[in-house]
A and B are shown apart, each in its own frame.
Chain A
Amino acid sequence: MGDSLSHLPQQLANGLTLGAVYALIALGYSLVYGVLRLLNFAHGEVYMVGAFIGYGVLSLLDPALAAGLPGWLGLTAMLLAAMLGCGLLGALIERLVYRPLRHTHRLAPLLGALGIAFVLQHGVLLLASARHRAIHAELILPAALGFELGSVRLSAARLLVIGIALLLLAALSLLVYRTRMGRALRAIGADPEAAAMLGVPVERVVSQTFVLGSALAGAAGVLVGLVFTKVWHLMGVAAGLKGFTAAVLGGIGSLPGALLGGLLLGIAESVSTGVISPTYSDLIVFGVLIVALLVRPSGLFGKRAQPKV
């Protein structure tokens, strides 16, 4: 035990990386939920597709990188392709599945989401087989690169994940709190009917919300690929569940909540893996969630549910 405790600072640092990724995924859940009160359970699969797009771009660029293309350009290409691809995928899912189901039974969009999740998993399975694909992150970031503070070591990949995640979070909060689209998005979340009657283009803003959330998931997929150096077609299942958990822990619908929930979950997972046991880490993480929800049923930043008049 004493030996495990000495890993604590390192596990905290690792947890920060994991947490940044969970936060990016959780933001997608929270954005969509905040606007539509819809749980987009295909979100984890969009993240998985993002990881595969990153893998594909890296494979394409492999010769160019070997020939001296700077690594940061390769990374930018991976991120842009994944964010763009996933953004489009998100808009497509919304248009083809959620929009037609929006005013039907409450459970229909949820089942539609599960259906889309299977379609994406098996689509990727068909295209890429069930093999784990290795991401050669060293093509982009020399493995030796990194940063050390006492016994704690953060690799360049981990630092990059945290940095890019923070950058995207900042960009998102600017968009949501400082632009017309963000105001429209919050107005629809508050009262879609009143917003529509006042000329807010609800369908367009909903599409844009899916593009945003899905692009963040795509970025998260690329970043995870760089840290854990492999991608496979079922990687979205656990990550989607953790991202959703982080969103609920923070208070679903709340953007600061998604960030905090993601970081807490990542750190809890990392610390319980390193200090207690990898076998029990999920048990501990979800145990923490249950306790947190018993104490604060609407999450850390969530508002108390108010009865509708």
Chain B
Amino acid sequence: MSLLMCDQLTMAFGGLQVLRGLSFAVEPGQIVALIGPNGAGKTTALNLISGLGRPTSGAIRLEGRSIAGLAPAAISQLGVARNFQSLRLFLNMSVLENMTAVGYRRARTNTLQAVLWTPAFRRDAALWRARAEELLGLFGSRLGPHRYDQPAYSLSYANRRRLEIARALMTRPKLLLLDEPAAGMNPHETDELAALIAALPRRFGLAILLIEHDMGLVERVADQVIVLDHGAAIAVGSFAEVTADHQVIAAYLGQSARAAPDEPPEEEAP
């Protein structure tokens, strides 16, 4: 069974048809990239999968179970986590606090135990912190111990992106949704990130659905590439296959969209 199955998804905002019958699947352990010109519906698809909105029609199944229209919290509990293209860290909280604030449904102790500072609570808190440190350690010294107590707003743009990925992993997802994780990173940083992303499925037993404009990164990490244009998949296959597809070339270079594939995405200043 596919981990994630999107079947004939459509989404309309008023008269604007953003998705028109999008279908694709993500298998366990796979890295799938969604690419396409700006406005093709990539982020909308990711939002629907994570529970921000209900599709106008079509089905979304996680391990066979329908999740279309479930609340974001419920979908998180079923094992989906994400980062945000626009960056949504808890800016006034420290790096470690950002990590340890989330996903604690899996914790085994309650607030009363926290107030009473019981041994079980302290053990739980120590485990939780150790997990946070392990995940921050994925980025080596970039999010090293000297950054733990710094407020998130003091981090560089690239570090904010890294922290969002680490924070999403705190929830132990089966499916990690990454929306432009390399946006704003320089080529060297993007390279580093590509190596990390490629290693995540095996290390944590998860699959990744990735939106990315940096084609170098997509080429390096994606097992499968889905090309979106005007809200529907126009090509599915390996990176080499889809980039040879004349429909894809037309979508990127033709009249329908002037955005080049490796053009940096529009982002507000950090």
Contacts and interface: CB of A to CB of B under 8 A. Distances in A.
Contacts of B174: none
A190 B81 contact: no
Interface residues of A, number: 22
Nearest to A180: B104
A202 B101 CA distance: 11
A23 B47 CA distance: 42
Interface string B9-27: 0000000000000000000
A187 B88 CA distance: 10
Nearest to A183: B101
B92 A186 contact: yes
Interface string B106-123: 110001001100000000
A191 B72 CA distance: 13
Contacts of A198: 76, 81, 101-103, 167-168, 170-171
B92 A193 contact: no
Given A191-B88, A198-B168, A180 B115 contact: no
B111 A179 contact: yes
B91 interface: yes
A121 interface: no
A224 B231 CA distance: 63
Contacts of B77: 199
A195 B88 CA distance: 9
Main secondary structure of the interface of A (DSSP, over half): helix
A121 B250 CA distance: 70
B71 A186 contact: no
Interface string B148-177: 000000000000000000011011000000
Contacts of A179: 111, 114-115
A309 interface: yes
A85 to B, nearest CB: 18
A162 interface: no
Contacts of A273: none
B114 A181 contact: yes
A184 interface: yes
B101 A195 contact: yes
A186 B51 contact: no
A197 interface: yes
A200 B104 contact: yes
B90 A190 contact: yes
A194 interface: yes
A196 interface: yes
B97 interface: yes
Nearest to B152: A190
Contacts of A208: 111
A180 B107 contact: yes
A287 interface: no
Nearest to A208: B111
- Among B114, B125, B170, B171: residue with most chain A CB under 10 A: B114
Nearest to B92: A190
B139 interface: no
B50 interface: yes
A190 to B, nearest CB: 4
Interface in A152-204: 175, 179-181, 183-184, 186-187, 190-191, 193-202
Contacts of B88: 191, 193-194
A187 B170 CA distance: 15
Contacts of A184: 101, 104
Contacts of B170: 198
A199 B103 contact: yes
B76 A196 contact: yes
Contacts of A186: 90, 92-93, 97, 101
Nearest to B98: A187
B161 to A, nearest CB: 14
Contacts of B263: none
B111 A200 contact: no
A183 B97 contact: yes
B105 interface: yes
A151 B51 CA distance: 65
B38 interface: no
14 contacts: A180-B114, A186-B93, A190-B90, A194-B88, A195-B101, A197-B50, A197-B75, A198-B102, A198-B103, A199-B73, A200-B73, A201-B73, A202-B73, A208-B111
Given A180-B111, A190-B91, A199-B106, 5 more contacts: A183-B100, A193-B72, A194-B90, A197-B75, A197-B81
Interface of A: 175, 179-181, 183-184, 186-187, 190-191, 193-202, 208, 309
Interface of B: 50-52, 71-73, 75-77, 81-82, 84, 86, 88, 90-93, 97-98, 100-107, 111, 114-115, 125, 128, 167-168, 170-171, 268
